[in-house]
């Protein structure tokens, strides 16, 4: 359960109740209250949030999350959004009659982009923004989500390294690891084609990323992005998740655990399918393929968003 604590009033609760607290207690951060009220007023007036928030169905269709989840995400990132929008040089819209593109709209437009992977040109035309402004907005919000939401929703259990705890399908210190791929266009350079080659992708070229989930079916780790030809075990070793040193013979306990893990692996395959609901991962990636930092950031943000959905709509727990 995600919780918040107000530093001024001392009140705390779940993020689903944060909006109610924020709206009812203006004394929490008095020096920013006027700025917040101005920005919140824009949320009610400006598209697309003014339209998408009318029903949960509309919100889910466009962003992949219901209204409550979007509000939870905004609550986690609110202060960075306020700081960004308070900057004296902050101007995004083309219209001379509108001074701000509100923080909530920045968030939902980015979620819309991740969900449907519309082109920046299309988003600009629909949002009354210039294309450079859209590029900057998507990059900025991705940075905010990565710095705030990803560490909040994706984390390795504290005792994952305890090796003497008995194995078992419900032992949360044991992880299930699997790789997934993001298709990319065919590289022009022959060396790059060799490095990124992966026959299972629609274009035959891909970025590879590895995810780990626990037996509660929550994503707890997301690797960096690698070229498609990199072997899974190489990524696993670099992740430092591998408990057993290379070359060590498996014990009988390890072998029994591996036999019992097959049904549990269905969970991570289900998670990978849910991740493909985000078109930015299931389609052909349009970003610079050698910018692994940016690609990793996008993948990790989407994994965090998937975890938010898994909290509300958990996967059926498989048993022996």
d(CA 262, CA 105): 43
Tens digit of each residue's pLDDT (9 = 90 or more) over 129-163: 889 989 999 999 999 999 999 999 998 766 554 44
E strand or H helix that includes residue 211: strand 206-213
DSSP one-letter code for 118:
-
CA distances from 61 to 105, 115, 196, 286, 311 (A): 16, 9, 33, 23, 19
- Strand 206-213 to 226-227 pairing: antiparallel
Residue-level pLDDT at 27: 42
pLDDT at 25: 47
What is d(CA 156, CA 216) in angstroms, rounded to the nearest whole number?
12
Whole-model pTM over 0.75? yes
Average predicted confidence (pLDDT) for the chain? 78
Q: Which two tokens stand for residue 188?
A: 């022009």
pLDDT of residue 110: 96
- Answer whether 18's CB lies under 8 Å from 32's CB: no
**Residue 141 near residue 110, CB atoms below 8 Å:** yes
- pLDDT tens, per residue, the chain with 320 residues: 455 566 555 666 655 455 445 554 444 444 455 555 555 555 556 778 889 999 999 999 999 999 999 999 999 998 898 888 776 444 554 544 344 578 899 999 999 999 999 999 999 998 888 899 899 999 999 999 999 999 999 987 665 544 443 334 344 457 888 889 999 999 999 999 999 998 877 789 999 999 988 877 889 999 999 999 999 989 988 887 765 444 455 555 555 555 555 556 677 788 888 888 999 999 999 999 999 999 999 999 999 999 999 988 887 665 54
Contact 120, 136 (CB under 8 A): no
Q: What pLDDT does 261 receive? A: 59
Q: Is 261 exposed, middle or buried (0-12, 13-18, 19+ CB in 10 A)?
A: middle
Residue 290 to residue 281: CA distance in whole angstroms: 16
pLDDT computed for residue 254 by the predictor: 56
| Coil vs helix vs strand at 319 | coil
Question: In whole angstroms, what is the distance from residue 166 CA to residue 93 CA?
Answer: 58
- pLDDT at site 4: 54
Q: What pLDDT score was predicted for residue 247?
A: 47
**Dihedral of CA 282/286/288/289: which sign?**
positive
């Amino acid at each position: 359960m995600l919780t918040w604590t107000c530093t001024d009033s001392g009140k705390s609760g779940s993020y689903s109740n944060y909006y109610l607290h924020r709206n009812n207690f203006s004394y929490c951060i008095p020096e920013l209250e006027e700025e917040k009220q101005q920005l919140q007023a824009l949320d009610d007036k400006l598209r697309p949030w003014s339209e998408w928030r009318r029903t949960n169905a509309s919100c889910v269709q466009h962003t992949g999350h219901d209204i409550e989840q979007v509000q939870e995400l905004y609550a986690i990132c609110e202060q960075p959004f306020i700081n960004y929008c308070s900057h004296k040089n902050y101007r995004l819209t083309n219209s001379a009659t509108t001074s701000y593109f509100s923080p909530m709209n920045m968030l939902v437009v980015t979620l819309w982009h991740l969900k449907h992977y519309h082109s920046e040109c299309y988003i600009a035309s629909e949002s009354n923004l210039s294309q450079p402004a859209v590029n900057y907005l998507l990059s900025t919000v991705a940075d905010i989500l990565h710095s705030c939401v990803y560490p909040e929703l994706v984390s390795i259990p504290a005792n994952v390294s305890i090796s003497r705890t008995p194995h078992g399908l419900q032992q949360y210190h044991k992880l299930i690891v699997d790789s997934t791929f993001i298709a990319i266009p065919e590289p022009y350079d022959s060396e790059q084609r060799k490095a990124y080659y992966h026959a299972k992708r629609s274009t035959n070229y891909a970025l590879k990323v590895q995810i780990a989930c626990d037996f509660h079916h929550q994503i707890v780790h997301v690797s960096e992005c690698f070229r498609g030809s990199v072997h899974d075990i190489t990524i696993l070793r670099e992740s430092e998740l591998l408990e057993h040193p290379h070359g060590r013979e498996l014990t009988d306990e390890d072998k029994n655990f591996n036999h019992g893990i097959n049904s549990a692996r269905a969970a991570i395959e289900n998670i990978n399918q849910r991740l493909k609901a985000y078109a930015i991962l299931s389609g052909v990636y349009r970003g610079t393929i050698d910018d692994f930092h940016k690609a990793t950031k996008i993948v990790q943000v989407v994994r965090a968003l998937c975890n938010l959905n898994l909290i509300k709509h958990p996967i059926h727990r498989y048993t022996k």
